Amino acid sequence: MVRYKRNIGGGVVRIPKEVREALGDNIEMLSNKISMVMYPAGEDKRKIINSLNVIIADLMQDVED
């Protein structure tokens, strides 16, 4: 897992090369008021959910520390 912090005030988000390579050329994004997920277009939703569960576990560890 990799964390990135970016300033998006200018309206343009630069996605690091490692992330672009992992996601491929076509992506889908899903967002709400405070978070967003990007994933390869057409990816199995179960795989996305499993991946998000890993991220959630990492965030929970941050909360507990």
Residue 5 in domain: no
27 closest CA partner among 38, 35, 12, 16: 38
Residue 7 in domain: no
Residue 9 in domain: no
Residue 43 in domain: yes
The pTM for the full model equals 0.81
User: Which residue shows structure tokens 């343009």?
Assistant: 12
Per-residue pLDDT of the chain (65 residues; tens, 9 = 90+): 778 888 888 888 888 899 999 999 999 999 999 999 999 999 999 999 999 999 999 999 999 98
Domain residues for the domain of 33 are 17-64
Residue 31 in domain: yes
